[in-house]
């Protein structure tokens, strides 16, 4: 009996270590993806507009995610949001760009976009046309994303990756001069 418990303890420890390594690997992938566009985490986390551009970048690389604007949303609010996603399995990945919550099952579809955060769940890597549509959807035009998915504009399909990356780079340059000033996280007001 003692040996069985010992073996189980070792098995649990190995599983936990494997999960931790996978989580770190995913965090590294996310950091590397964002660092291709943003030179530092301050440039990304302190500007609301970046939430939308990052959404487009993540859809291009096929990582479903739920991202909060910097640390403005409390862990309790995040927990409530995640519990409301029935049937979803989520991982919280701590990255240098903040908390990124991903759905490793890749079972979902595009869900919701809101003012202070964004909830993206993509079942597969998007086609270039879809990626281009999402990139344009976050250029300030708050139109339904579905309208972009059926675009027949070939240029959008051909230039999707470059367009989305350029969009984020332009924002990064625009805000770069003020991004060094790190602000304290906002406090979420509750009833």
101-148 pLDDT per residue, tens = 554 433 222 333 333 333 333 333 334 444 444 444 433 333 333 333
In this structure, the strands spanning 117-120 and 112-113 are: antiparallel
Number of H helices, E strands in the chain: 8, 5
CB neighbours of residue 168 within 10 Å: 24
CA distances from 10 to 7, 16, 18 (A): 5, 10, 12
Collapsed DSSP state (helix, strand, coil) of residue 128: helix
Which pLDDT score is estimated for 30?
Answer: 60
pTM for the structure as a whole = 0.32
Predicted confidence (pLDDT) at residue 10 exceeds the cutoff of 60: yes
């Amino acid at each position: 009996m003692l040996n069985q418990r010992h073996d189980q303890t070792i098995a649990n420890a190995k599983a936990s270590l494997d999960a931790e390594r996978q989580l770190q690997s995913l965090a590294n992938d996310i950091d590397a993806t964002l660092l291709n566009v943003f030179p530092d985490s301050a440039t990304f986390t302190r500007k609301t507009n970046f939430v939308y551009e990052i959404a487009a970048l993540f859809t291009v690389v096929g990582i479903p995610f739920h991202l909060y604007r910097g640390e403005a949303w409390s862990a309790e609010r995040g927990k409530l949001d995640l519990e409301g996603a029935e049937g979803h399995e989520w991982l919280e990945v701590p990255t240098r760009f903040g908390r990124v919550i991903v759905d490793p099952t890749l079972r979902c579809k595009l869900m919701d976009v809101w003012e202070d955060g964004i909830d993206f769940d993509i079942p597969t890597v998007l086609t270039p046309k879809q990626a281009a549509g999402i990139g344009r959807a976050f250029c300030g035009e708050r139109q339904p994303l579905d309208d972009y998915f059926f675009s027949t504009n070939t240029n959008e399909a051909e230039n999707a990756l470059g367009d989305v990356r350029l969009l984020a780079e332009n924002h990064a340059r625009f805000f770069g001069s003020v991004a060094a000033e790190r602000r304290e996280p906002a406090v979420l007001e509750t009833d």
